[in-house]
Amino acid sequence: MTLSPALATVRTAVPALRCPDCGARPTLTPTRTQPLAGGTFGLLRCACATYPQIDDIPVLRRGRVDSQDHLTGRCEVAGPTADELVALLEADRPLDALVALLAFPPPAPTSRPGVRLPFTRGPWPRVALAARRAEVRGMLARHERLTAQDWMELAYARSSDRIDDELLPYFLARFGQPRFLATASLLQGLPEDRSRPVLDLACGFGHVAHHLAARPDPRAVVGVDRNFLQLWVARRYVAQTQRFVCADRVDAMPFDDDAFAAALCSDAFHYFDAQQGSLDELRRVAVADTVLLDRLGNARLAPTDGPLERDPSGYVRLLRGAPWRMTCEDELLADYLAGYGPQLASPRHPAELDSAKWLMLVTSTDDRVFADHGAFTAPPHAAGRPTLNPVFTVTRHDDGVDLAFRFPSTWYAFENAAMRGYTSAGERVDADTYAALVAGRPTDHDAELLRRYVLLGMPDRYRRAPGVPGPSVVGGLVRGLRRS
Ligand SMILES: C[S@@+](CC[C@H](N)C(=O)[O-])C[C@H]1O[C@@H](n2cnc3c(N)ncnc32)[C@H](O)[C@@H]1O
């Protein structure tokens, strides 16, 4: 697709965006070539900088746009620099800019010391990266037929051995996790204001953004994260109607004051170095300073998610005296399973939560946020298209299909042990029902399978059909090399 020069400058796709350094609102100049239907690539200019915008996602980062470990910030995959991305866009090569951000290098063919050496230097890594770039170009050419799972597998199961392969089940099988149910419950407590979006800081793959788009009372979301691949998968597959921004400075949010109805940070705040600055910023950009800090690690209980966790009163101190309520994942989950939303009316002493590992802190100057929520009108985990929960393995028989609960890894089992308490251990369905489930057609069993967490609401193009394998590392690269 090529734009006419008449469309020289347009407004950025993200409302209330401003440069985190000079505070000016950037102006977008689209590239002449627009390689993906429905997304705009271009240059965002403000008083002090030029930033890339890649497929509607402003990249407000300086230096290398690496993919970074969630907890430590360590570089897992070295990315292009922001200046290189700008140069590619100036040269009207927007697809090359996107490929540079999505093509994580493949792993060395062996991890054995000595044997591995020739695969880590010399021509091999360059050839392997070129093949991976060709593979990604091929995937982009048929991106409308792919799923979020295809891209998650590319990044976490077929890429650099510096990436923790636990990340694949951690994100792919997220919708049925205890933490997700607790988050969906907490989100019932968002303020009523629908005139502004909700900010989701450290949004990952946009699971929350999907939920808020698909629930009966939908809400617009702007998701921010530093890892571009996650945002792009969110934007194209997980929450296509929501907006995303790539930015890494949690204490310099690139938005106007009061731009959001509320600001959320889920399962990430306790990783941040700049927690005070971040909370101040989250409050600045939200009307009535309404902030939901979801799933904060309590430093009193091991194992910890890194060294920056605080105890309950430590998180409360960051509020500088603002009103607050605190609850925890166990309480939210118990109420969720009983069919009820969050109970936020009663003030508590932080010490009451000292023995809870995962804390939820809600703050607002609007008292109406501190309410006890009643029974759900629909189970929140049903929001979206009913899809088979990825923790079920599928075995076909002559007279039907067995679905069996299997934790995907030991670490996943440790982190999500509570799933056994509410998820079916196994089901047998007839072949027609199974075919309908996989095709996304409604069946008479949907309500019961949703009640037993065998089905979960998910985005339309989230999972491949169960039993259809993705390519191997070599298969994907060979396909890429053939194509190039
Ligand atoms: C455990 S994941 C949670 C993702 C998402 N909130 C969810 O619940 O599905 C933590 C996220 O925090 C992001 N993150 C960590 N530090 C960040 C920073 N300084 N700026 C932006 N994102 C950050 C990571 O990239 C990752 O996506």
pLDDT 10s digits, 127-153: 889 999 999 999 999 999 999 999 999
Distance CA 281, CA 296 (A): 17
118, pLDDT greater than 90: no
Q: Is residue 54 part of a domain?
A: no
430/310 same-domain check: no
Residue 187 lies in a domain: yes
Name 144's Cβ contacts closer than 8 Å, sequence gap at least 6: none
Residues 193 and 208 in one domain: yes
Which residue, among 261, 259, 229, 256, has the nearest Cα to 244 in the 3D structure?
229
Environment class of 447 (CB within 10 Å of its CB; exposed 0-12, middle 13-18, buried 19+) = middle
Question: Could you tell me the distance, in angstroms and rounded to a whole number, from the CA of residue 235 to the centre of ligand 1?
Answer: 16
Does residue 419 share a domain with residue 270? no
* Pocket residue to mutate for ligand 1, from 76, 210, 227, most atoms within 8 A of Cβ: 227
Gap from CA of 73 to ligand 1 centroid (Å): 10
Expressed in percent and rounded to 5, the helix, strand and coil fractions of the chain are 35, 20, 45
Residue 223 belongs to some domain of the structure: yes
What is the amino acid identity at position 97? A
Greater model confidence, 114 or 246? 246
Residue ending a domain, choose from 380, 409, 429 = 380
Mean pLDDT confidence for 418-428: 97
Is 348 among the domain residues?
Answer: yes
Q: How many helices (H) and strands (E) does the chain have?
A: 15, 18
Does residue 55 sit in helix, strand or coil?
Answer: coil
Residue 321's Cβ-side half-sphere holds a number of Cα atoms within 13 Å equal to 0
Q: Is residue 141 part of a domain?
A: no
Atom 11, ligand 1: residue with shortest CA distance = 202
Among 327, 351, 380, give the residue marking a domain's end.
Answer: 380
Closest CA to 58 of 183, 273, 174, 228: 228
Query: Are 389 and 305 in a shared domain?
Result: no
In the reported structure, the alpha carbon of residue 275 is separated from the centroid of ligand 1 by a whole-number distance in angstroms of: 13
- Looking at ligand 1, which residue's alpha carbon is closest to its atom 14? 202
Domain enclosing residue 312, as ranges:
178-380
Q: Any idea what the CATH number is for the domain that residue 340 is in? A: 3.40.50.150
Residues 243 and 391 in one domain: no
pLDDT bin (cut points 50, 70, 90) of residue 121 is low
pLDDT at 6: 39
pLDDT confidence of residue 480: 79
Is 81 a member of any domain?
Answer: no
Number of structural domains, the chain?
A: 2
Question: Ligand 1: residues within 6 Å at CB?
Answer: 70, 174, 202-204, 207, 225-227, 230, 248, 250, 266-268, 271-272
Question: Domain check: are 397 and 271 in the same one?
Answer: no
pLDDT given for residue 115 in this prediction: 61
State whether 193 and 332 are in the same domain.
yes
Looking at the fold, whether 343 and 403 belong to one and the same domain comes out as no
235 and 206 together in one domain:
yes
CA distance 278 to 272: 8
Specify if 422 maps to a domain. yes
Q: Which of 72, 185, 186, 271 for a ligand 1 pocket mutation test, highest count of atoms within 8 Å of Cβ?
A: 271
450 and 306 belong to one structural domain = no
Same domain, 369 and 394: no
Residue 401 Cα, ligand 1 centroid: separation in angstroms?
37
358-363 vs 324-328, strand pairing mode? antiparallel
Q: Are residues 205 and 320 in the same domain?
A: yes
Q: What is the mean pLDDT of residues 64-85?
A: 93
